[in-house]
């Protein structure tokens, strides 16, 4: 478990929510893009009033309460700030609401909130309000404000008195940040899944893609419903019941780590004209269990090479996204009822598996699919270390950025060894990982990165 968390902590740093700051008064991970330390200290009153704008959702409100209470503070929600005592304002940029107005009054720099090509942009200010601490959080949306609370959590978890004033400005370079449970072997237990989500929430990660190869209801029995009961041995082996999925989905909603349930229809995705309806039937079952984001995996099956098959592959993906939007994303749907865009692991996820002409034909067809669908690669090889060059190749052929499925730590390619140390050391000591590849300081041309941390 420690190895998994260490891997994900590294992924959080790589995700782009990090940067240098002049004075290291607060040790926060991922390191904020910019930290401006002010003069003087502030302390929280025992009772803290939280003022949330209308756009701030229930999960973000619960998270604010959790952060404050775990720091030993009492929490009360109100429409307006009281005359005295500490206040936490939470809002959305440009809303005109209480937090947005307070940010204007304090002349907070909003440059990071509109920085192009960045994700989950937010700011946090800790200042003095007539002798008590005042926090102002403004995000580009409620999700971004939620991630700002991870910084506040780390600022006050060791004490709420005599804290340096500060302004934090943060965003992510990668849209999808987290893990994929997609290896061959026993899946994680429900307890581990939930623990990972809570850890990921603290690290501002947002993606838990589930497609365990040994889960038959993901692959071989992809149309069948999950069972209501399991034997003790099946539970030990990591299989899931419907109630377990409900439990995981609830934790996903609370942590804003999107539990993306993947279906693996195999060669039927291209070969069956009715496959979209068949997939939607299973998605509907999973939706009833609380799942609000889906993926399609068609890795390790036949690769479409003809123009017609490549087009069918892309057309089915487009039709599936359209079916999801029609069923769950109409104009009257509440935020809690809506389904986020698809993630797709294609047949050509490793660039070297087909010739250049076949690869270009394949990705050119996928370029016609909706831009909001996230498409994954593993780079030039199956275990390739993330790098900007491979992402740029796909970006040009796909005509949009792709995300990286990183098979690490995943020792299928060297199962006589385990990967016990940090990433850089393993690359140097274990050339089977990727020929002594070096981690880049920055990852460009990508839309996300998920680690596939196999239980070695």
Mark whether 287 and 190 lie in a shared domain.
yes
Residue 5 lies in a domain: no
How confident is the model over 370-423, as pLDDT tens digits? 999 999 999 999 888 899 999 999 999 999 999 999 988 877 777 777 776 666
* Domain match, 183 and 168 both: no
Which residue, 136, 153, 172, sits at the end of a domain?
172
Residue 12 located in a structural domain:
no
Are residue 151 and residue 230 in the same domain, yes or no? no
Assigned domain for 113 exists: yes
Q: Is the confidence at residue 437, as pLDDT, over 90? A: no
Q: How far apart are CA 413 and CA 225, in angstroms?
A: 33
- Cα distances (angstroms) measured from residue 434 to each of 359, 382, 429: 22, 9, 11
Residues 291 and 407 in one domain: yes
φ, ψ of residue 201 to 5 degrees: the values are: -55, -45
For position 423, what pLDDT does the model report? 65
Q: CA of 12: how far to CAs of 42, 172, 445, 451, in Å?
A: 29, 9, 17, 10
Whether residue 244 is found in the same domain as residue 275: yes
Same domain, 32 and 94: yes
Q: Rounded to an integer, what distance in angstroms lies between the CA atom of residue 181 and that of residue 210?
A: 5
In a domain, 4, yes or no: no
Write down which residue in 172, 205, 226 finishes a domain: 172
User: 3-state DSSP call for residue 361?
Assistant: helix
Separation between Cα atoms, residue 449 and residue 456, nearest integer Å: 21
Q: Which residue has the tokens 């990972």?
A: 196
Count: domains in the chain? 2
In terms of domains, do 136 and 211 share one?
Answer: no
What CATH number is associated with residue 258? 3.20.20.80
| Rounded Cα gap, residues 363 and 356, in angstroms | 11
Whether 439 and 305 share a structural domain: yes
Quote the crossing angle between the two packed helices 190-202 and 2-14, to the nearest 10°: 30
**3-class DSSP assignment, residue 114:** helix
The parent domain of residue 235 ranges over: 176-451
Instruction: State the pLDDT at residue 425.
Output: 63
CATH number at residue 153: 3.30.379.10
pLDDT, tens digit, for every residue of 323-353? 999 999 999 999 999 999 999 999 999 999 9
Same domain flag for 132 and 183? no
Q: Are residues 154 and 195 in the same domain?
A: no
Same domain, 122 and 197: no
């Amino acid at each position: 478990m420690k190895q998994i968390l260490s891997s994900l902590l590294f992924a959080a740093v790589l995700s782009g929510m990090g940067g240098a700051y002049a004075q290291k008064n607060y040790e926060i991970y991922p390191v904020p893009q910019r930290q401006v330390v002010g003069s003087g200290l502030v302390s929280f009153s025992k009772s803290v009033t939280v003022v949330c704008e209308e756009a701030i959702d229930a999960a973000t409100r619960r998270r604010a309460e959790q952060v404050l209470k775990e720091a030993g503070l009492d929490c009360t929600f109100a429409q307006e700030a009281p005359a005295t005592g500490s206040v936490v304002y939470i809002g959305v940029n440009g809303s005109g609401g209480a937090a947005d107005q307070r940010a204007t009054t304090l002349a907070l720099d909003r440059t990071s909130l509109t920085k192009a090509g960045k994700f989950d942009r937010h700011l946090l200010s800790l200042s003095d309000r007539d002798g008590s601490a005042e926090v102002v959080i403004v995000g580009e949306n409620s999700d971004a404000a939620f991630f700002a609370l991870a910084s506040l959590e780390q600022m006050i978890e060791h004490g709420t008195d005599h804290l340096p004033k500060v302004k934090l400005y943060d965003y992510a370079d990668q849209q999808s940040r987290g893990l994929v449970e997609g290896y061959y072997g026993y899946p994680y237990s429900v307890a581990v899944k939930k623990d990972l989500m809570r850890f990921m929430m603290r690290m501002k990660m947002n993606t838990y893609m589930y497609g365990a190869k040994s889960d038959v209801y993901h692959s071989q029995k992809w149309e069948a419903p999950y069972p209501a009961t399991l034997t003790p041995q099946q539970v030990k082996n990591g299989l899931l019941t419907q109630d377990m999925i409900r439990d995981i989905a609830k934790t996903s909603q609370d942590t804003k780590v999107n539990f993306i349930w993947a279906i693996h229809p195999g060669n039927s995705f291209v070969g069956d004209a009715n496959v979209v309806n068949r997939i939607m039937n299973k998605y509907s079952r999973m939706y009833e269990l609380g799942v609000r984001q889906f993926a399609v995996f068609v890795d390790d099956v036949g690769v479409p090479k003809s123009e017609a098959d490549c087009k069918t592959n892309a057309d089915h993906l487009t039709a599936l996204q359209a079916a999801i939007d029609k069923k769950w994303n109409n104009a009257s749907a509440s935020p809690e009822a809506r389904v986020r865009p698809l993630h797709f692991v294609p047949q050509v996820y490793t660039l070297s598996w087909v010739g250049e002409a076949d690869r270009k034909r394949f990705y050119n067809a996928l370029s016609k699919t909706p831009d909001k669908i996230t498409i994954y690669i593993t780079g030039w090889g199956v275990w390739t270390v993330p790098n900007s060059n491979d992402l740029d190749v796909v970006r040009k052929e796909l005509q949009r950025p792709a995300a990286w499925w990183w098979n690490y730590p995943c020792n299928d390619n060297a199962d006589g060894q385990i990967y016990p140390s940090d990433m850089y050391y393993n690359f140097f000591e274990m050339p089977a990982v990727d020929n002594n590849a070096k981690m880049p300081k920055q990852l460009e041309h990508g839309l996300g990165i998920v680690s596939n941390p196999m239980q070695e």
